[in-house]
């Protein structure tokens, strides 16, 4: 049974800050399909479409019938632990700082035999276990063996915490606490055990419903933050940048209409100023601080979360300029992910469908409740994934987009959704 994680002691400021050493990250192009699935929380292996053989490791052709028709298919991961060992020495810089480290040999019910990292609650062989795919600090898929039935504190396992971004005992910045969505995110983080939640709010002279209630929580500190103002972002980064472990950028401007529905560019500029340039200002100021503390113990800096929109994948003409701003933010998030990867900081993008807020009043259900979006953020941090699509609309759009982006574009331009 995993012992619950205790609140870490305050760091000795005299001691050096450890620098991140990444686990081995080289993967072939075929193997990156496993990483793509793990980034969304799935464990997939190749299955031959001709003879049905499940393949591991990933390969170009079937090892049984030499067919090139291999299809990536979700697996339940059920299998038998054949044997295990504990490493007490490693020449790899990442693992030698995290020893001891358990490994196991698992025979899956579907056929292949795998070498996996073992969760601390997995007992000695032989034992029934479940294999899952997670993203490691190098941004690549690795396989982890879990017990068939885990305890309440299994997320506190030392090895698993290296693979995830659990907010427990961590310090989090939420960029906008004036919206119902932002307040739901703050409550979810407090419930998840966050140590401190800094909550940004612009234009403090404007009273916002619920902000005082959020500010009354003992874990919450309200801080002035205006993403349209570079000085505001810089000052806050100078004050708390070296303490933040997780940044959640939920600030946005959302207006309806496309190109011809509103004259001028003022609204589009306001959307870009927050949704894109605000994100850029935030990343420039807080990104280096996160990278510098990415190996700083059990409460190291660990993740950056962007609340984007499913409209970023394909423009929704009735919300055209907003869709364009979110598409720009999505592209910037991919750049940020590439720059954060050498430091082991995970960039998580959420692509919700329409949120049940004031800007989507005229859109019919189904819509994503703010509390559901907040829970999706916490779950993404705990599961160590990179891309999340909350809500029925987002799931449907994603499926249609993957099937044929051009068909989805035509359907949306014809008034569909």
Q: What pLDDT sits at residue 1?
A: 62
Q: Report the alpha-carbon distance of residue 120 to residue 82 in Å, rounded.
A: 16
**Residue 79 · residue 107 · CB < 8 Å:** yes
- Residue 42 pLDDT > 80: yes
**Residue 187 · residue 216 · CB < 8 Å:** no
Mention every residue, 6+ apart, whose C-beta is less than 8 A from residue 237.
285, 286, 289
* Residue 185 bridge partners (DSSP): none
For residue 47, give Cα distances in angstroms to 32, 71, 108, 195, 255.
16, 5, 14, 44, 45
Specify the residue for token string 């939640």. 197
**H or E element that contains 248:** strand 246-249
Beta strands in 255-389 (DSSP E): 303-307, 346-350, 387-388
Percent of the chain past pLDDT 70, that is, above it, reads: 99
Q: What is the pTM of this model?
A: 0.94
- Residue 51 pLDDT > 90: yes
Specify the residue for token string 């698993």. 160
Q: Report the alpha-carbon distance of residue 125 to residue 266 in Å, rounded.
A: 65
Q: What pLDDT sits at residue 205?
A: 66
User: Per-domain residue ranges for the chain?
Assistant: 32-158, 171-413
Confidence of residue 330 (pLDDT cuts 50, 70, 90): very high
Q: Give pLDDT tens digits for 138-193.
A: 999 999 999 988 788 888 898 998 889 999 999 999 999 999 999 999 999 999 99
Q: What pLDDT sits at residue 154?
A: 86
**H or E element that contains 183:** helix 180-191
Structure tokens given for 46? 């190749």
171-413 CATH fold: Rossmann fold (3.40.50)
**Residue 387 · residue 349 · CB < 8 Å:** yes
- Residue 207 pLDDT > 80: no
Q: What pLDDT sits at residue 299?
A: 81
Average pLDDT over residues 218-241: 96
Structure tokens given for 279? 């994100």
**Residue 140 · residue 25 · CB < 8 Å:** yes
Mention every residue, 6+ apart, whose C-beta is less than 8 A from residue 404.
none
Mean pLDDT rounded to a whole number for the chain: 92
Q: What angle do CA 373, 374, 377 make, to 5 degrees?
A: 90
């Amino acid at each position: 049974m995993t012992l619950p994680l205790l609140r870490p002691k305050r760091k000795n400021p005299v001691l050096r800050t450890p620098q991140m050493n990444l686990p081995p990250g080289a993967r072939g192009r075929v193997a990156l399909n496993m990483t793509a699935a793990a980034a969304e929380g799935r464990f997939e292996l190749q299955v031959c479409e001709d003879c049905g053989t499940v393949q591991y490791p990933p390969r170009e052709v079937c090892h049984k019938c030499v067919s090139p028709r291999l299809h990536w298919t979700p697996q339940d991961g059920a299998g038998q632990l054949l044997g295990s060992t504990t490493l007490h020495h490693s020449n790899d810089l990442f693992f030698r700082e995290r020893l001891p480290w358990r490994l196991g040999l698992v025979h899956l019910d579907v056929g292949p035999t795998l070498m996996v990292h073992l969760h601390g609650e997995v007992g000695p062989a032989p034992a029934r276990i479940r294999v899952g795919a997670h993203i490691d600090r190098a941004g690549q898929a690795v396989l982890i063996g879990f017990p068939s039935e885990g305890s309440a504190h299994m997320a506190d396992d030392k090895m698993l915490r290296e693979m995830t971004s659990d907010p427990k005992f961590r310090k989090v910045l939420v960029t906008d606490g004036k919206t119902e969505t932002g307040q739901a995110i703050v409550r979810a983080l407090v419930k998840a055990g966050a140590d401190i939640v800094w909550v940004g709010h612009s234009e403090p002279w404007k009273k916002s419903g619920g902000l005082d209630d959020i500010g009354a929580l003992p874990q919450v500190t309200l801080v002035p933050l205006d993403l349209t103002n570079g000085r505001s972002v810089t000052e806050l980064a100078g004050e708390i940048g070296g303490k933040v472990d997780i940044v959640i950028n939920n600030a946005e401007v959302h207006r309806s209409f496309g190109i011809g529905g509103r004259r001028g560019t003022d609204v589009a500029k306001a959307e870009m100023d927050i949704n894109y340039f605000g994100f850029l200002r935030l990343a420039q100021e807080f990104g280096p601080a996160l990278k510098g503390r990415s190996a700083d113990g059990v409460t190291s800096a660990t993740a950056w979360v962007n609340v984007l929109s499913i409209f970023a994948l394909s423009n929704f003409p009735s919300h055209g300029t907003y869709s364009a701003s979110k598409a720009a933010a999505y592209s910037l998030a991919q750049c940020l992910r590439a720059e954060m990867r050498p430091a082991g900081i995970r960039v998580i993008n959420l692509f919700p469908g329409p949120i049940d807020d004031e800007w989507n009043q005229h859109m019919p259900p189904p819509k994503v409740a703010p509390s559901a979006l907040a829970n999706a953020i916490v779950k993404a941090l705990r599961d160590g994934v990179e891309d999340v699509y909350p809500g029925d609309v987002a799931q449907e759009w994603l499926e249609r987009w993957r099937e044929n982006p051009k068909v989805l574009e035509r359907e949306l331009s014809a008034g569909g959704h």
